[in-house]
Homo-oligomer: A and B are copies of this chain.
């Protein structure tokens, strides 16, 4: 009897399919490919598959208890961790992709510079075919950064900020374990002590019970008046009402949110019209960058070899812990 893989993805190129065929063959598996418009066919196929490579809660729910490994092509797996009933097999392995570091880090550098260099204001000047150029700006060199989350995203952000001469880069993680890319890594328990000296707060946290509203009203008040907040993790990590107040009153210098709560943001949501806020519709880490897709497939193929050999999987997610 063959060992089968159901692959339900939109982003795969012919080269990616060939790469997966090859890795599957080497591991003793047969891959079956479906695009997002072939849900019914994918559902029929997954009934006899041991492995599912997708990002589809609906397809996962349709999979029987014989599914042993769900490889999620996204980084954020909070929906799967919050609801164990999605898995017919309680021991089903969950992996995620941590290949979004490059694209999200480039987004963070972009919005950091847009905020520091007053780009939204200059864009407004240009939209009026007008000319003025004397707004005070700031440099990455002169600012202390605090990065919440020191995973693949945080590391890639830190690397780039260091390359641009950031004054200081502090990482905050659960363990506080030192990592070379940061000037220092502290325990997330130090957050309240670090915020008063933070000029740019970059939030790259997974969506877990512990990260909900981690940036609350009290902590927003701890940030200096000239601080900026950038969120590329999960919208739920920020209590949005006090952030909106702080931005509209000028109590914070600005913010850039790529993630919000909820998404898509309703048409009449106050975030759309908040001052000094750069909003993007969750674009920092999706599959629109070729490199992200390439590394996603590479990681799946590498973990398929690990899986076949009974080795630990690089993308393993502790479903109880949430990341």
Interface residues, chain A, with chain B CB atoms under 8 Å away:
102-103, 106-107, 109-110, 113-114, 116-117, 119, 122-123, 125-126, 129-142, 159-160, 162-165, 263-265, 267-269, 272, 279-283, 286, 288-291
* Chain B residues whose C-beta falls within 8 Å of the C-beta of A134 in the assembled complex: 286, 288
With both chains docked as a complex, state the minimum distance between the C-beta of A178 and any C-beta of chain B, in angstroms: 21
8 intermolecular pairs with C-beta atoms under 8 Å apart: A102-B165, A107-B117, A113-B113, A119-B280, A122-B283, A131-B265, A131-B281, A137-B283
Are A281 and B162 in touch, CB under 8 angstroms?
no
* Chain B residues whose C-beta falls within 8 Å of the C-beta of A141 in the assembled complex: 102, 291
Give the residue name and chain of the B residue nearest to A107 (CB).
Answer: B117
Considering the chains assembled together, what is the distance between the CA atoms of A269 and B141 in angstroms? 36
In the complex, the count of this chain's copies comes to 2
Considering the chains assembled together, what is the distance between the CA atoms of A265 and B126 in angstroms? 10
Pick from B107, B129, B263, B290: contact of A267, CB below 8 A: B129
* Chain B residues whose C-beta falls within 8 Å of the C-beta of A281 in the assembled complex: 122, 125-126, 130-133
Are A102 and B139 in touch, CB under 8 angstroms?
yes
Are B272 and A139 in touch, CB under 8 angstroms?
no
Considering the chains assembled together, what is the distance between the CA atoms of A190 and B137 in angstroms? 37
Pick from B122, B139, B265: contact of A280, CB below 8 A: B122
**Given A110-B113, A110-B119, do A288 and B137 touch, yes or no (CB 8 Å)?**
yes
* Chain B residues whose C-beta falls within 8 Å of the C-beta of A272 in the assembled complex: 126, 129
Give the residue name and chain of the B residue nearest to A108 (CB).
Answer: B113
Give the residue name and chain of the B residue nearest to A136 (CB).
Answer: B288
* Chain B residues whose C-beta falls within 8 Å of the C-beta of A119 in the assembled complex: 110, 280
Are A126 and B279 in touch, CB under 8 angstroms?
yes
With both chains docked as a complex, state the minimum distance between the C-beta of A201 and any C-beta of chain B, in angstroms: 19
Are A106 and B290 in touch, CB under 8 angstroms?
no
* Chain B residues whose C-beta falls within 8 Å of the C-beta of A286 in the assembled complex: 133-134
Pick from B117, B130, B265, B288: contact of A110, CB below 8 A: B117
Are A138 and B289 in touch, CB under 8 angstroms?
yes
Considering the chains assembled together, what is the distance between the CA atoms of A162 and B162 in angstroms? 12
Are B282 and A139 in touch, CB under 8 angstroms?
no
Considering the chains assembled together, what is the distance between the CA atoms of A272 and B113 in angstroms? 23
* Chain B residues whose C-beta falls within 8 Å of the C-beta of A110 in the assembled complex: 110, 113-114, 117, 119
Considering the chains assembled together, what is the distance between the CA atoms of A267 and B125 in angstroms? 12
Give the residue name and chain of the B residue nearest to A267 (CB).
Answer: B129
* Chain B residues whose C-beta falls within 8 Å of the C-beta of A102 in the assembled complex: 139, 141, 165
Are A283 and B133 in touch, CB under 8 angstroms?
yes
With both chains docked as a complex, state the minimum distance between the C-beta of A270 and any C-beta of chain B, in angstroms: 11
Considering the chains assembled together, what is the distance between the CA atoms of A279 and B126 in angstroms? 7
* Chain B residues whose C-beta falls within 8 Å of the C-beta of A125 in the assembled complex: 281
**Given A114-B114, A122-B280, do A139 and B289 touch, yes or no (CB 8 Å)?**
yes
